[in-house]
C-alpha cells in the first residue's frame, strides 16, 4: 500500500499496481472500495473528505465481518475466507486500530468531559468519540462499553 497522499489517491495508485501485477482479488476489492466512494460522491454531488472516506471503508469492513459470521454459521468457509481476504485488504487503508486501553481511556475522558452519568447522555459521549475513533475501533463495541460504564 502506498502511504503518501490521501486514502483515495492511495487506492487509485494501488489499483494501478494490482492491474500491472495481475493481483485479481486485490484489484477487485480496491475497485469495490473506489466504487462505494464514487457512488456516495455522485449521490451527494460532492467530493468526500478523508473522514468520510474512512467512514465508507469502515462500513465496508463491518459488512465483511457480518458476512463472515453468517457464512461461518452456514458452513460456507469458502465464502467466509473470501470475505476475510477482502477485509484484510480494506483494513490496510484504515488507520492503525486503537488498543483496548486506548479505547477505555478515551471513553473515560469523554464521559468526564460531558459529565454524562446516565444512558440519556450517551449521545453526547458518542458525538465526542466517533470522530476520534472512526475507522480505528469497532463503534458497536465502543457503544457497548459506554453503555456498561453509564449503567453502573
* pLDDT: which is higher, 139 or 93: 93
Reported as a pLDDT band with limits 50, 70 and 90, residue 3 is low
- Does 152 have pLDDT greater than 80? no
pLDDT digits (tens, 9 = 90+) for 51-76: 889 889 989 998 999 999 999 999 99
* pLDDT: which is higher, 130 or 3: 130
Cα–Cα distance, 59 to 50 (Å, whole number): 14
Domains of the chain with CATH codes: 7-91 (1.10.1510.10), 100-150 (1.10.10.410)
Pair 38, 15: CB distance under 8 Å? no
Cell numbers 462499553: residue:
145
Q: What is the mean pLDDT of residues 79-93?
A: 94
Closest among 35, 4, 1 to 17, alpha carbons compared = 1
Alpha carbon distances (Å) from 13 to 4, 8, 103, 142, 148: 10, 9, 32, 33, 43
Q: What percent of the chain has pLDDT over 70?
A: 97
Q: What is the mean pLDDT of residues 120-145?
A: 85
Cα–Cα distance, 2 to 22 (Å, whole number): 17
* pLDDT: which is higher, 116 or 13: 13
Reported as a pLDDT band with limits 50, 70 and 90, residue 4 is low
Amino acid at each position: 500500500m502506498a502511504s503518501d497522499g490521501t486514502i483515495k489517491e492511495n487506492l487509485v495508485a494501488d489499483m494501478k499496481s494490482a492491474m500491472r501485477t495481475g493481483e485479481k482479488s486485490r484489484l477487485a476489492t480496491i475497485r469495490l472500495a473506489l466504487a462505494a466512494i464514487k457512488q456516495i460522491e455522485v449521490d451527494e454531488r460532492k467530493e468526500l473528505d478523508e473522514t468520510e472516506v474512512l467512514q465508507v471503508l469502515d462500513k465496508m469492513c463491518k459488512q465483511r465481518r457480518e458476512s463472515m459470521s453468517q457464512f461461518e454459521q452456514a458452513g460456507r468457509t469458502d465464502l467466509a475466507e473470501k470475505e476475510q481476504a477482502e477485509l484484510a485488504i480494506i483494513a490496510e487503508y484504515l488507520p492503525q486500530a486503537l488498543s483496548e486501553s486506548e479505547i477505555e481511556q478515551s471513553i473515560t475522558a469523554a464521559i468526564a468531559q460531558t459529565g454524562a452519568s446516565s444512558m440519556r447522555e450517551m449521545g453526547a459521549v458518542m458525538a465526542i468519540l466517533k470522530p476520534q475513533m472512526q475507522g480505528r475501533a469497532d463503534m458497536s463495541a465502543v457503544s457497548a462499553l459506554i453503555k456498561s460504564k453509564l449503567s453502573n
